[in-house]
Amino acid sequence: MALIQCPSCNKRISSLVKTCPHCAQKNSAENESLNKITHIKRSNQLMNQSFFAMTLFIAGVVIWFWGGEPAEGMRANIAAICSVFGFTGYLIARVRIVLHKRKSV
């Protein structure tokens, strides 16, 4: 817990309170840090998502070329599904990361 200055009455208030006890002004420091935390959490989530999609795509490619021969039958289906989902998932995650970053600035 830290003491911060209320932006409206300049009295010292706890950074944990949501509203200033002196003038009932909304504690913007609290909101700001909360927004930042939510934003970072969301960024991490999107990064994980793109990482997972990338792994899926690579797994699909590895399955396809496993043993030095192009896949056939069931293995080809699995490989194709993995790489298609991985690739689309990765693209979607990247776009969402860009949009998310743009929103914050």
Residue ranges in contact with Zn ion by CB under 5 A? 6, 8-9, 20, 22-23, 25
C-beta closer to Zn ion: residue 28 or 43: 28
| Cα-based distances in Å from 97 to 39, 45, 46, 51, 64 | 11, 10, 6, 12, 29
C-beta closer to Zn ion: residue 16 or 91: 16
Nearest distance from residue 15's CB to Zn ion, in Å?
13
Q: Which of 95, 103, 5 is nearest to 53 (CA)?
A: 95
Nearest distance from residue 12's CB to Zn ion, in Å?
9
Helix 73-104 and helix 28-65, axial crossing angle in degrees, nearest 10? 160
Nearest distance from residue 30's CB to Zn ion, in Å?
13
C-beta closer to Zn ion: residue 17 or 61: 17
Output the CA torsion 63→65→67→71 (10° steps): 80
